[in-house]
Chains A and B, each alone.
Chain A
Amino acid sequence: AGCAPPQFDPVVDSTADVDTSDGLVIDGERIADAELFEAAVEEGRLSLYSGYVENSEKEVIKVFEEDTGISVDLVRLVPNRLSERVLSEQGAGRLGADVVRTSDFDIATRMRDAGVFQPHRVAGYDELDDTVRYFDGDFYRVFNPLYTFAYNTALVDPADAPKSWHDLTDPRWQGELGITQVGAGGSSLTLNRFQEEELGPDFLPALAEQNPRIFDSSSAALESLARGEIPVATAVVSSVNIAASKNAPVNFVIPEEGMAAYDYFVGMTDSAVNTDAAELFLEWNLSKRGQDVFRQIGEFPARGDVEPPEILAQQLPTADSGKIVRIDPEVLIASAEGDQRRWNGLFGYLG
């Protein structure tokens, strides 16, 4: 043992050309005019309630704070509990957040119905397509984590690794797979819908036949994968990226059939105190600069004009390649109950 820092590669490279002489301009892109920027700096801080993965959100905040000098107070909860808390605080008129970030369209709309959000039109509002902006700017989709599967590189030679979802049903992986149960949140539901829609009705039964180990959350699955308890598991690209950056012997696969992309939304609250800082945060999130940070973490950016990321030396396909499958929120909500029941039945799972 020693005290030297281990060789960790930082996930996000935040070097950029930041110019605050007249508003906020980063790498040539004007993110805020002078008026907004000064007002935001005047407020100096903002409160963010987020359901996004803690470490990643912290990377984002770090870059934002470097760029603007505004500090962000983070309350981080998994999306479900976040929703519970936001709705309760909202109901009592004591919502403490200026900005809320959450996954799941269902959660975001329920918050909206409760009057959590106030509309704000970002600079490039008109150029954004309808899968990004919602309800006149009540909230925006900012990025999509990509759900695929990953393997332990110490146990599985990249050459032998499964290349497609259907490879997972190969007898070779009998008892060697880890998956996350369908009820673990919106991400699991999205993956499930993707599997049903894209891989055919026989895929899940076949997967169940493999007798996979079922985890209650994707983080637990990834943890086991990194430790080598299971060689292959379903996983989210950004999480794999972060784990790998901490020397975990893991890598993900870009399957032939594509991967499931679920949504993350962000919006400014109706009760926001630091309105200018909150607006600036939204602008920054949807700017090329912000989108680039998400990209580096391993998320698929929402803006069409930002390149898909290159993660762990693998270039992710573009949005129009057909390999990034986003499920329509309405469809997802409509089929959630049936999907869960079928999944539980197939995998003999309680829930």
Chain B
Amino acid sequence: MRTLVRRIRQGVPTGVLLVVLGILVVLPMLFIALAAFSDDVPRPGSIGLDSLSLDNFAILGSSEALGALGNSVFIAALASVLAMAIGCGLAFLAARADVPGRRFLYFVGIAPMFLPSLVGALAWSLLGSPATGFLNLVFQGIGLDVTLNIYSMPGLIMVLALYYAPYAFLLVHGALSLMNPDLEEAAFVHGGTRRRTLSWVTFPLALPAILGSGVLIFALTMENFPVAQVIGNPGQVETLPSFIYRLMNASPSRGTEAAAVAITLTAVLLIVTALQQRAVMRRKFTTVTGKGVKTKLVSLGRWRWPLFGLALVYFLLAVVLPIGALLISALQSSPYVSSLGQLTEPGALSFYMIGQLILSPDFLQSAGNSAVTAILAALLGTAVSFVVAYTVYRTNSAGRRVLEFVAMAPLAVPAIVLGLGLLWTWLVIPLPVYGTVFVLVIAFMAVFLPQGYRGVTSSILQVDRDLEDSAVLLGARRATAVSWVTLPLMRVGMVSTVLLLLMLCMRELSAALFLFTSDTRLLSILIFDNYDNGAMQGAASVSLLYCVVILIIALLAKSFGAKTVDGAR
């Protein structure tokens, strides 16, 4: 009996969490699952179990679906590997190496996040389309006989990798900042070369972050629609996201089949998560122990400048060129450019439109909405992620494994499908949030829970438990101990997570589509509408301003403290 009481008492926190996650994540997913097994879309008012069937899954067997899946897996795998290489490399340089301009490299690492993948893809289509891409015009201009064709499989992979590398960067940067050099030095002394030390100690210790961001990137590139549409589609590269998009956009809509695809993806992703969980739970990755952390920079010797150069190349490809392209396209008075010379003609470029845009109530309102929603969602999302991660990795409560799966589940569902589930959920739940910004905040928290969770987990695993336990023994309540010891030690990781969520929320479109109202339009919707109108110039202008808004917010967030952890100074 008492044992039962204790069980219940111990279970209460997890129970509360499960309820929160249940509403946030499970309910929308259940709706989607129901849709996947129903003949008709189970909207509020017509939810029922009477039309259950497995017919929707037939679509998975179609050669189209299989082909798209194969393509997507291939593309996502290559893009993830590339993105991971870029992200981890940059993270290492910015966190641990004695490269020139480390702070700048941090900026390089996160800057591509300012460009939503839709904008990045558009920019690259401006740059690299075979007929009129700016780069091709430049090549022509200087008499080079090469034609860059971004509309191809390699192009698609490159653009995806460019814009997903920051995920790896942020998570891995957090992890590497928490490294204890003693562990590396031990390898160095025992005969390990620098490279060997990195590959034997440093990166494996960041494994939770690396694996975590790997899973994230893989899943996200697999379902990224904008790049697939803008880059893949013209190149006739068929992918799963286009496939889902078509299902959703077909007339009549084939939402139930889209849900079936989503459910299948979820299953696959859960398996991947389980594998990753096994790898992470089996070992320990504590790098911050009670015997001190003395962050030390790794000396790169003569590789300093070449590596810095590589980072610059990435910056050029991911940020400078695309922003340049966007700028030209936002300023130019005609979307058609046949040679670069045309741009120098009088009247070819004008700031008028951008000026108009900044002052337009539309822009101001959506910028405000975006900022508020993103900041709230990022902070709350990080908080929830922390609580979940803490419960999973620092307590013995029953059901903590389940929590992890729940937290990771939204990753598998394409945002557009999840958006539907969220719509149904928040229409059904009798809380007065539907139609307000709060419903957007909640939706973003749900959609980005996996990202937040992964971000927090990787750093929580690095902090030795003894540090927190000692605070408890010295008389602090658990919460005090967490806020005095654990959180500050994880600061870099937490700030990274907030930043990550912030930027993701700023640019998220699909999940918001079903939930916004005329008062709660977001910048991302403005961009998409502009693009959908064929108003590339508008889209480019909003994108530019939007980059500025994100930049400002990100700099503010960063100045709240992504310092490294090495003793109070």
Contacts and interface: CB of A to CB of B under 8 A. Distances in A.
Interface in B124-160: 126, 129-132
Contacts of B338: 154, 228
Given A88-B424, A88-B427, A226-B534, A74 B518 contact: yes
Given A93-B45, A104-B251, A189-B251, A227 B532 contact: no
B286 interface: no
A74 B537 CA distance: 22
Interface stretch (B275-283, B348-356, B550-558): B348-356
Interface in A77-108: 77-81, 83-85, 87-94, 96, 104, 106-107
Given A90-B45, A181-B246, A227-B126, A83 B253 contact: yes
Contacts of B423: 84-85, 88
Considering the complex of A and B, which 10 residue pairs feature the smallest CB-CB distances, nearest first? A91-B45, A73-B518, A92-B427, A350-B64, A92-B44, A1-B349, A6-B333, A247-B334, A91-B44, A54-B529
B245 interface: yes
Nearest to B434: A94
Given A4-B352, A5-B352, A91-B427, A73 B517 contact: yes
Contacts of A219: 531-534
B536 interface: yes
Contacts of A247: 333-335
A94 B429 CA distance: 12
Contacts of A85: 423, 514
Contact of B246 (A94, A239, A351): A351
Nearest to B132: A228
B22 interface: no
A336 interface: yes
B3 interface: no
A216 B533 contact: no
B324 interface: no
A188 to B, nearest CB: 8
A227 B518 contact: no
A262 to B, nearest CB: 10
B233 interface: yes
Interface stretch (B8-16, B235-243, B451-459, B481-489): B235-243
Contact of B516 (A75, A91, A223, A227): A75
A335 interface: no
Given A2-B350, A222-B534, A340-B250, 12 more contacts: A6-B353, A54-B530, A80-B248, A107-B251, A152-B336, A217-B249, A220-B230, A227-B335, A249-B334, A350-B242, A351-B64, A351-B246
A134 interface: no
Interface in A292-351: 336, 340, 344, 350-351
Interface string B255-297: 1000000000000000000000000000000000000000000
Interface of B: 41, 43-46, 64-65, 67-68, 126, 129-132, 229-230, 233-234, 236, 238, 242-243, 245-253, 255, 331, 333-338, 346-347, 349-353, 355, 420, 423-424, 427-428, 434-435, 513-514, 516-519, 529-537
B334 A248 contact: yes
Contacts of A94: 427, 434-435
B513 A91 contact: no
A224 interface: yes
Contacts of A137: none
Interface in A1-56: 1-7, 47, 53-56
Contacts of B243: 350-351
A79 B41 CA distance: 16
A110 B333 CA distance: 43
A224 B234 contact: yes
A3 B356 CA distance: 10
B350 A1 contact: yes
Contact of A229 (B129, B238, B532, B537): B129
A1 B331 contact: yes
A47 B518 contact: yes
Contacts of A173: none
A74 B349 CA distance: 32
Given A84-B253, A92-B44, A247-B333, A229 B234 contact: yes
A92 B45 contact: yes
Contact of A4 (B238, B350, B427, B519): B350
Given A3-B350, A216-B242, A54 B532 contact: yes
Contacts of A246: 334-335, 535, 537
Contacts of A83: 253
A242 interface: yes
Nearest to A185: B251
Contacts of B514: 77, 81, 84-85, 88
A81 to B, nearest CB: 6
A267 interface: no
Nearest to B240: A350
5 contacts: A2-B351, A181-B246, A219-B533, A227-B131, A351-B243
A55 B533 contact: yes
A85 B514 CA distance: 6
Interface string A65-81: 00000000111111111
B68 A186 contact: no
Contacts of A2: 346-347, 349-352
B250 A183 contact: yes
A117 B2 CA distance: 60
A83 B251 CA distance: 11
A97 B277 CA distance: 46
A229 B131 CA distance: 5
A213 interface: yes
A228 B252 contact: no
A104 B249 CA distance: 12
B488 to A, nearest CB: 44
A184 interface: yes
